[in-house]
Structure 1
Amino acid sequence: MIAAAAEDNAIGKGNDLLWHLPDDFKRFKKITSGHKIIMGRKTFESFPKPLPDRIHIIITRDKEYRVSHPDCQVVHSLQEALKKVEDEKTSFIIGGGEIYKQAAPFSNKIELTRVHTTFKDADTFFPEIDWTNWQLVDKEYHPKDEKHRYDFTYLTYVR
């Protein structure tokens, strides 16, 4: 899984992010490029267009939902999405909140950007993770600056 979440696990509101962190966007692009990315329909629809150099696997319950783009595949369950990546060395769950919650038991790595603030009006959250089964293998702190309104830390966990 790859996500950015505030201290209270907030990740979004109104199908949009709560912050703008250019360095985190660059890191997301670097980590996910060349891989299959699994997401819910609302997460997909929050993009202006499909992300380049990635195969998008979009989960929706809507059996009529279609995306006419060669890098997009529509499935109707997390299990169906996971089947599409079973032969991949690396693939990513990229959101939203419900997809993260469903996918947590199947994940072996979490790339988490912890944004050091809280948001009272968020409507989407990263799930609570039982960290006792996870090992923190990398940590990199970034202070706020002229491009980043909040301090944040990249955290890489494996199990």
Structure 2
Amino acid sequence: MKVQMIAAISRGAAIGRGGDVPWELPDDEAFLLDQLDGAFLISGRKSYESPQGEMIFTGRPHTVVTRQNGYVPAFGGAVAHSVEQAFEQAKQSRYGRAIVLGGEKIYELALPYADELLLTVVDTEVPEADAYFPRISHQNWSASCIGRHPKDERHAHAFALMRYTRT
């Protein structure tokens, strides 16, 4: 099973502020949703419960990783109490690909298992950020740019779509 991680990060690797994504990038959101088709999704509870959660998880196979006993996912799906258990659930599904959607701690725990990272690098800094993507060693990853988007009337920031493949 192929394991991908997908995230939008600032130049400083920020992914969140106050429980939400610190930008609105409609074309990146469309890219994200396109990538999710045909994959089994893995998310931490806080990311699952974020404002985007219902749109992302409803109607898609997924597991929510949480330490809470008795947790019932609002949008369906399964529950796991570790990323390893979530990956086992993904392997038992009919999907050949699992996508990890965060948050910070889940990304950190899942990074050793990832084959590929799909990172939207947003051309901004995020003051008061409180969630970050883990630092990656460029010795272990090969990067390629798969697209660029300029700042425009719908996007307050320019961004680049990057694919990192484990070497």
d(CA) in 1 for partners of 2:83, 2:132: 18
- 1:138 deviates by 3.7
Aligned 1:33-48 pairs, distance under 5 A? 33-46=37-50, 47=52
Aligned letter for 1:66?
V
Quickly say closer, same or farther: Cα 1:119–1:45, change in 2 above 3 A: same
Question: What is the TM-score of this pair, normalised by structure 1?
Answer: 0.93
Q: Which ranges of structure 1 fall in alignment gaps of 5 or more residues?
A: none
**Consecutive aligned runs of 4 or more in structure 1 exceeding 4 Å deviation:** none
28-37 or 82-91, larger mean C-alpha shift: 82-91
Partner of 2:29: 25
Q: Which ranges of structure 2 fall in alignment gaps of 5 or more residues?
A: none
d(CA) in 1 for partners of 2:31, 2:121: 13
Note if contact 1:10-1:123 (Cα within 8 Å) is conserved in structure 2: yes
d(CA) in 2 for partners of 1:48, 1:83: 22
SS in 1 for 2:31: helix
- 1:53 deviates by 4.0
- 1:131 deviates by 1.5
Note if contact 2:64-2:73 (Cα within 8 Å) is conserved in structure 1: no
Partner of 1:91: 98
Note if contact 1:33-1:52 (Cα within 8 Å) is conserved in structure 2: no
Aligned letter for 1:62?
Q
Give aligned pairs, total: 158
SS in 2 for 1:132: coil
- 1:60 deviates by 0.3
Deviations 1:42-72 (A, max 9, x none): 0011135253442121000001211265x41
d(CA) in 1 for partners of 2:18, 2:82: 23
d(CA) in 1 for partners of 2:53, 2:41: 16
What RMSD in Å do the two structures reach over aligned CA positions?
A: 1.5
d(CA) in 1 for partners of 2:108, 2:118: 15
d(CA) in 2 for partners of 1:120, 1:49: 27
Of 50, 60, 65, 1:59 maps to 65
d(CA) in 1 for partners of 2:85, 2:53: 25
Partner of 1:7: 11
SS in 1 for 2:147: strand
Quickly say closer, same or farther: Cα 1:52–1:93, change in 2 above 3 A: same
d(CA) in 1 for partners of 2:74, 2:136: 35
